[in-house]
Structure 1
Amino acid sequence: MIQVIIVEDDPMVREINSKFLERVEGFVLHKAVSNLEDAKKVISTKKPDLILLDVYLPKENGIDFLKWIRAQEMDIDIILITADKSIDRIQEAFRYGIIDYLIKPFSFERFKEALLQFKERYYKFKKNDVIEQKELDKLKASSNFSEKEDDFTKGLNKYTYRAIWDEIEKKSYNDFTAEELAEKLGIARVTVRRYLEFMEKENKIDKLVEYGKVGRPQYKYYKI
């Protein structure tokens, strides 16, 4: 399991991010703290794999903490979570090696995408001593927020696609609905439907329209 520390001074946001993290497979919350002093204490006893770091803390700045970690040459990856939209701040953060930058408020879907991108790279590097240029380019492209996804129509993300398809493959029964998948994965129903429509075009699933006595027809999907 990937060990994670959350550094966030707002108790409500800290709780939300902790709950979000619980919903992403492969990650475990080691500790959630409200200030940089406590974060340093936690790191001194057990180094995490990933830190979800707020920028604006009372009388403190997450960027300073990021710089401190780099100065200590600690092998810890960092995702910044902040309301700061300034280009200067974003550029500075990436220069100091963050892997993603989430602007508050963000959706669970975007949060999950960031973690899945990290997980793919983390395990790819962990199980290999060397990597070919082609594989490295794939990893680089998947973590670049401005990169278009290969073989996907505009607006679709391969990590969301994978999460939905993995859930479909795990199902022990024949039919399912977009609503069931949305509730299970924590993704908006309208988003799930868009991906199901794409999978239908790929001939991975089929759709059946069921008409009831009242209300709108219900769409049920079947894996082919």
Structure 2
Amino acid sequence: MNTIPVMIVEDDIRASYVLENTINQHADFEVVAVCENVAEAKIKAEAFLPELVMVDITLPDGNGIELIRSLKSSGFQGAFIMTTAERETSTIEKSIQLGVMDYLVKPIRMSRVLQALSDYTELRQQLSKSAKIDQQSIDLLFRKQTHLDKSRKTPKGIDQKTLEVLNKHLEDLKDTSFTAEEIGNAIHLSRITARRYLEYLEAQGLVEMNLDYKTGGRPKQRYKKLSAN
């Protein structure tokens, strides 16, 4: 299976790096182009023909909303996901009207990016299966899920007992920062699994992730438990 080509339009270098690194961790996606402004994005969209574009709204020479309008009017067929700090309802409304697939608010969590990518692949797979689908499948595609498992305390892929072990270990670490690999070694999880649990805790506001640039090479993702106060 060929990977899905992605273009990032983001003028913040650090945010762009984190986004690119996260997307490339997903087996189904590959970043083929990174742009810092509208003009560059228009050129690279035509050159690389990305299937998915991650667009910041505030850019040095314009904004993401106008960029999407311009690309669509020129015949560009890709899908769009917004990545922005803007939370104004008018901006969100414009994004919805333009058919944006998802809207990620900064600071963007890695787990949320991966969720957006997985949602996109699921949509893509469902639409490619047959020419017509039933109402239940349509509802699932539009996230109108009517059959939720209310007995689960954690989302799919997060085991409650493993989460309890992890939380106990984090309590023992107190204010010490750590990597996913260190956590995995400590409680006998793979680095990828440990990262999934840490991203879940990050989404819950229980830990925070920062990039360590003092590594002599690529920045490392280090986590730290947030205090209850």
TM-score by length of 1: 0.68
- Report the CA distance between 1:104 and its aligned residue: 0.3
**Aligned equivalents of 2:189, 2:110: Cα separation in 1:** 15
6, 11, 14: which one aligns with 1:12? 14
Match of 1:51 in 2: 53
**Aligned equivalents of 2:45, 2:100: Cα separation in 1:** 17
Report the aligned-residue RMSD.
Answer: 2.8
Give ranges in structure 1 of 5+ residues lacking alignment. Answer: 162-175, 193-224
Match of 2:149 in 1: 151
Match of 2:191 in 1: 183
8 Å CA contact 1:182–1:188 kept in 2: the answer is no
8 Å CA contact 2:52–2:78 kept in 1: the answer is yes
**Aligned equivalents of 2:53, 2:14: Cα separation in 1:** 18
Match of 2:133 in 1: 131
- Report the CA distance between 1:47 and its aligned residue: 1.6
38, 63, 66: which one aligns with 2:65? 63
Q: Deviations over 1:95-129 (max 9, x none)?
A: 11101100000211111111100110012223432
Give the counterpart letter for 2:191 in structure 1.
E
Helix, strand or coil: the match of 2:130?
A: coil
- Number of residue pairs the alignment of both structures matches: 174
Does residue 97 in structure 1 map to residue 99 in structure 2? yes
**Aligned equivalents of 1:183, 1:118: Cα separation in 2:** 25
Give ranges in structure 2 of 5+ residues lacking alignment. Answer: 159-183, 202-229
Give the counterpart letter for 1:67 in structure 2.
R
Helix, strand or coil: the match of 1:111?
A: helix
- Taking structure 1 as reference, are residues 11 and 120 closer, same or farther at Cα in structure 2, changes over 3 Å only? same
TM alignment of 1:154-173, pairs within 5 A:
156-158=154-156
- Taking structure 1 as reference, are residues 130 and 90 closer, same or farther at Cα in structure 2, changes over 3 Å only? same
Match of 2:33 in 1: 31
Match of 1:207 in 2: none
Give the counterpart letter for 2:148 in structure 1.
D
Q: Deviations over 1:150-179 (max 9, x none)?
A: 224577445x56xxxxxxxxxxxxxx9995
- Report the CA distance between 1:71 and its aligned residue: 2.2
Helix, strand or coil: the match of 1:141?
A: coil
Give the counterpart letter for 1:89 in structure 2.
T
Does residue 110 in structure 1 map to residue 108 in structure 2? no
What percent of counterpart residues are identical? 24
8 Å CA contact 1:102–1:111 kept in 2: the answer is yes
- Taking structure 1 as reference, are residues 178 and 114 closer, same or farther at Cα in structure 2, changes over 3 Å only? farther
**Aligned equivalents of 1:99, 1:139: Cα separation in 2:** 11
Helix, strand or coil: the match of 2:70?
A: helix
